Amino acid sequence: MISRVRSFTDGRCRSVTAPSSRTLADRDGSPLLPPYHDIVNPQRNNAVRILWAAFGVLAIVHLAAQLADADQLANVSQWFLMPMLASVLWSATGAGRSRLVVLTLVALGFSWLGDSAPDLAEGDISFLLMMGFFLLAQFTYIAAFLPYRSASVLIERRGWAAAYVGAVVALVAACAPGAGDLLVPALVYGITLGVMAALATGLNRWAAIGGAMFLVSDGLIALGAFADWFTPPLEGFWIMATYIVAQVLIVLGVLAAERGACCGHRSVGESATASA
C-alpha cells in the first residue's frame, strides 16, 4: 500500500471519479446540477469527451497502482492528473477565456506543483512544498470564487458557514498535538481551505460539493501526517479519490458557470435561503 502521507518525505496521494451526467432535483423540482451536455460547448464535445476519457483512464491506472502498491507507477501517473484535467477545461472553453476560467487553470497548475514538487525534496521541506503550492492553489480559487460571494453561504446563509468553521476548528484541534513547528502553517492552510470551500458554494452545486470534498481530502492528509491514531485502511487511495473528485467537480462548476447552465440552478446559499 502506498502511504505517502505518513511521512513528510512523501508527496500527495490523489485520485478521480468520472463525472456523472445525471441531474439532481431540488424540493421544487428544479435541477440542482445541470446535465453534463449542457455544460460543455457542443462544438467542442468530441474533443472534450476524448480528453475526459483519457483523464479517466489515467485516474484508473493511478488508483490501480495505489491498490497494487506500485509506488513508481502511482507517482508518475499522479504527476499527469492535474495537467490532463486542465487540458479538459482549456479545450472546453476556447479563446477569450473568462477570469474564472483563467484563475481555475492557474489553481490547477499550483495543484500540479503541489503533487509533483515534494518528490524533489525530503523531510519537512517536502511537506512544506506540498502545503505551500496548495496554499497558492487555494488562494487562487478564492480569487476565482470571490465575485460570487453574495450567493455563498457566507452571505446568504451564514449559519451554514458555521459547519465550515466547525470542520476547520475540529481538524486543527485533532492535528495540533502532533504538528509541532508546522502548527502555524497548517493553521493558515486550514483557514484558507475552509474559506475556499465556503466561497465555492456561491458558484453552483458542482463547485460547492467540490470545495467540500477538497476539505475532506486535505483533512485526511493532515490527520495522516499529524495524528498517530489515524490509521484508516487504504488511506492513500481515499485521499486520492476525494482530491480528484473535488478538482473534477470544481472544473464542472466552472464549465457550468461559463455555459450559463446554472441559470435557474441555484447556488447552495440561494437554495438554503429559499427553503428557510
> How do residues 220-274 score in pLDDT, each as one tens digit?
999 999 999 999 999 999 999 999 999 999 999 999 998 874 344 445 544 444 4
Written as nine digits, the cell of 70 is 506500485
User: Who wins on pLDDT, 228 or 159?
Assistant: 228
CA dist., res. 14 & res. 62, Å (int): 8
Cα dihedral 241/247/252/254 (nearest 10): 170
Q: 31: helix, coil or strand?
A: strand
Rank 3-12, 151-160, 195-204 by mean pLDDT and report only the highest: 195-204
**Residues in Cβ contact with 188 at an 8 Å cutoff, skipping those fewer than 6 apart:** 135
The pLDDT-based confidence of 39 (bands split at 50, 70, 90) is: low
**Residues in Cβ contact with 243 at an 8 Å cutoff, skipping those fewer than 6 apart:** 12, 13, 14, 15, 213, 214, 217, 218
Rank 66-70, 80-84, 162-166, 226-230 by mean pLDDT and report only the highest: 80-84
Per-residue pLDDT, averaged over 41-69, amounts to 88
| CB neighbours of residue 71 within 10 Å | 14
Q: Which residues pair with 25 in a beta bridge?
A: 31
Least confidently predicted of 66-75, 154-163, 263-272: 263-272
CA dist., res. 237 & res. 27, Å (int): 34
- Continuous H helices in 117-266: 123-145, 158-179, 183-200, 205-226, 235-259
Q: Round the average pLDDT of the chain to a whole number and report it.
A: 83
pLDDT over 90 at 9, yes or no: no
